[in-house]
Amino acid sequence: MKRRIAVAATLAATLLGAAGCGSSGGSGTTPNANASVNGAGKTIKVWLMVDAQSGWSDVVKQANDRFTQATGAQVQVDYQQWTDHLAKLDTTLAGSEVPDVVELGNTEMPKYVFNGAFAPLDKGQFENSGQWLTGLSAPCELDGKTYCVPYYAGARVLAYNTEMFSKAGLNVPKTYDDVVAAAKSLKEKNGSDKQFSAFHMPGKYWYAAMAWVKGSGGDIARKNGDKWVGALSEPASQQGLTKWSELARTYFSGDPTKDETDQAAIFAQGKTAMMYANGWEVGAAQEQPKDPNKPEAGKVKTKVSGKVASVAMPGIPSFLGGSDLAVTAKSANADLAAKWVQIFTDTKSQEGLIAKSALPNATNLLDKAAAMKGNEATAQAAKETWFVPMAPKWSEVESANVLQNMLVAIASGKSTVADATKDADEKINKILNAA
């Protein structure tokens, strides 16, 4: 694949300014994580998302301590919010004072890789790199070079209310037909309650809907020569969306225009039998914050505490979400930055993440994850996953809500699958092929 540089205004400044900055990727060199560097008196700046602060701050600390012991350098970790981190990053990269290491979601990474915001890395210097999860490593690869390192992953699973299943005489679903049959039976037994959902599936939940597309052999978009072509209107994709819409429209009683962000809290109310959930949502449904505005206030048990289990969703591949870590092209401490990434993503750090119910960055560590109570389903689901198209402008498709709008039109009955997918393909083609 030839490298295309479609430079946004903010990133243009990044590329123009990168060449004269230290020993960074901007000067054509590759940061050396194994270099013998005396970092005494130096401090590298690391941008991590707030998940690390709330979920595994001890893992961050042990990596920082090992890094300082190895190099003499210190680490300043600045935690970012998902709501504004991209706008903040764009503004920062256009200047001269940049973070040395940046975490991005795996679907956010391609834009910055294509636009030259990050330095190339020596893949062989990072532990388990031969077994990295494809869903995390794919956004890092371009023209045979590696521009980021997989950090951690999360897979989606089928979460279900064990009490409801037991009362209905249902077994754990082993096939997709079992899932639908269970939903039908549960609706028949609980349908008099207008708030009851046999399967929670809001319309804007595109990570779920696209899994149904992939499970039917369809796709979102694919490369055809030098052009990207939307594939949602193809028969296999329509088949998957039809299955998804039948589930959403028949067994979900909520608002079809909503997304999935509050589904754990909704499941916690005890009115839902099944949901397609992130692994962490299985626990979140059973313990909710005592005060959402005061995390320090602790958590309380919910109506479904002890009544939620999960399995890999039968017949549906999981979207492998997660994050990657990159060294900025303008970093003045690129070797030190690469060393920190090397330590923070090695087996010791990955085992720390596994203990926090996160999935590791490599397939050879999935069995360790599966051995942890609560991780069995997500580790199994991570073995069959899918990822978004590796297109330079994919993030613009996401920000334009192309998939969400298509799905709401289908779930609400305002449009047929055929008409909605045709419209979505046209929008995808326009965005992905824009000059």
- Over range 126-144, report the average pLDDT: 92
Least confident of 11-20, 102-111, 147-156: 11-20
Higher-pLDDT residue of 374, 189: 189
Q: Which of the four pLDDT bands, split at 50, 70 and 90, describes residue 430?
A: very high
Half-sphere exposure of 45 (CA within 13 A, CB side): 12
Q: What is the pLDDT of residue 5?
A: 25
Q: What is the pLDDT of residue 21?
A: 34
Q: Can you tell me the distance from the alpha carbon of 376 to that of 328, in angstroms, rounded to the nearest whole number?
A: 35
At 247, list the tokens. 């589930």
User: Tens digit of pLDDT for each residue in 399-413?
Assistant: 999 999 999 999 999
CA 130 to chain centre: 21
Q: Is the pLDDT of residue 10 over 60?
A: no
Q: Which of the four pLDDT bands, split at 50, 70 and 90, describes residue 149?
A: very high
Q: Which of the four pLDDT bands, split at 50, 70 and 90, describes residue 280?
A: confident
Helices first, then strands: H and E counts in the chain: 19, 16
Least confident of 14-23, 258-267, 289-298: 14-23
**What is the DSSP code string of 86-99?**
HHHHHHHHTSS---
- Over range 240-266, report the average pLDDT: 97
Q: Is the pLDDT of residue 241 over 60?
A: yes
> Phi and psi at residue 65, in whole multiples of 5°?
-65, -45
Q: Which positions ≥6 away from 396 have C-beta within 8 Å?
A: 111, 431
In Å, how far are 158, 184, 271, 329, 376 from 304, measured between CA atoms? 16, 21, 9, 48, 20
Q: Can you tell me the distance from the alpha carbon of 19 to that of 119, in angstroms, rounded to the nearest whole number?
A: 11
Q: What is the pLDDT of residue 28?
A: 55
**Percentage above 90 pLDDT, the chain:** 78
Least confident of 249-258, 330-339, 369-378: 369-378
In Å, how far are 168, 171, 188, 204 from 232, measured between CA atoms? 37, 34, 33, 16
Q: What single-letter DSSP state applies at residue 25?
A: G
Q: Can you tell me the distance from the alpha carbon of 381 to that of 376, in angstroms, rounded to the nearest whole number?
A: 9
On whether the CB atoms of residues 305 and 327 are closer than 8 A, the answer is no
Task: Determine the residue type at 41.
Answer: G
Residue with tokens 């119910």: 357
Q: Can you tell me the distance from the alpha carbon of 72 to that of 43, in angstroms, rounded to the nearest whole number?
A: 9
Q: What is the pLDDT of residue 298?
A: 82
Supply the mean pLDDT for the chain: 90
- Over range 283-292, report the average pLDDT: 86
Residue with tokens 């005494």: 40
User: Tens digit of pLDDT for each residue in 43-80?
Assistant: 999 999 999 999 999 999 999 999 999 999 999 999 99
Q: Is the pLDDT of residue 303 over 50?
A: yes
Torsion sign over Cα 196, 194, 170, 412: negative
Model pTM above 0.85: no
Q: Is the pLDDT of residue 359 over 80?
A: yes
In Å, how far are 137, 343, 367 from 279, measured between CA atoms? 20, 25, 16
On whether the CB atoms of residues 148 and 309 are closer than 8 A, the answer is no
Least confident of 36-45, 156-165, 177-186: 36-45
Q: What is Dmax (Cα atoms) for the chain?
A: 70
Q: Which positions ≥6 away from 368 have C-beta within 8 Å?
A: 351, 354, 360
